Amino acid sequence: MKKYILLWILILNVGCSNSHLVEMEGRVAVKGSMPFTYLVIEDTLTHKSYKIQNSKDFDLIHQQKKIIKIKAELIKKAVGPGFPAEIKVIEVI
């Protein structure tokens, strides 16, 4: 019985700590062609692009071609070329 209780506690702890917080520094750019443009940040270390879901909340469109540092939550993983990972910005540092 104790084994089952410990197993459930372990499962609940792993399930609750599934937060995907990311801190990165990169260049903000607009990708795509009209009318399918979107704002991305390209990480300076890994050179991977991340699509920003809530760019209007932080007015990041005016930060184009600038290197900024952000804290973000990973929403979706990258599917393949043309479908970058999606993030939700929590804080601009």
User: So what's the pLDDT on residue 20?
Assistant: 86
Topology annotation, domain 20-92: OB fold (Dihydrolipoamide Acetyltransferase, E2P) (2.40.50)
Give Rg (Cα) of the chain: 17
Mean pLDDT of all residues in 26-43: 94
Q: How far apart are CA 45 and CA 22, in angstroms?
A: 13
Residue 10 confidence (pLDDT) above 80? no
**How much is the mean pLDDT over the chain?**
87
Segment 41-51 shows an average pLDDT of 94
Convert the chain into a string of H (helix), E (strand) and C (coil). Answer: CHHHHHHHHHHHHHHHCCCCEEEEEEEEEEECCCCCCEEEEEECCCCCEEEECCCCCCCHHHHECCEEEEEEEEEECCCECCECEEEEEEEEC
Task: Please report, for the chain, the start and end positions of each structural domain, with discontinuous segments joined by +.
Answer: 20-92
66 and 32 Cβ atoms separated by less than 8 Å: no
Q: What is the pLDDT, as a whole number, of residue 8? A: 62
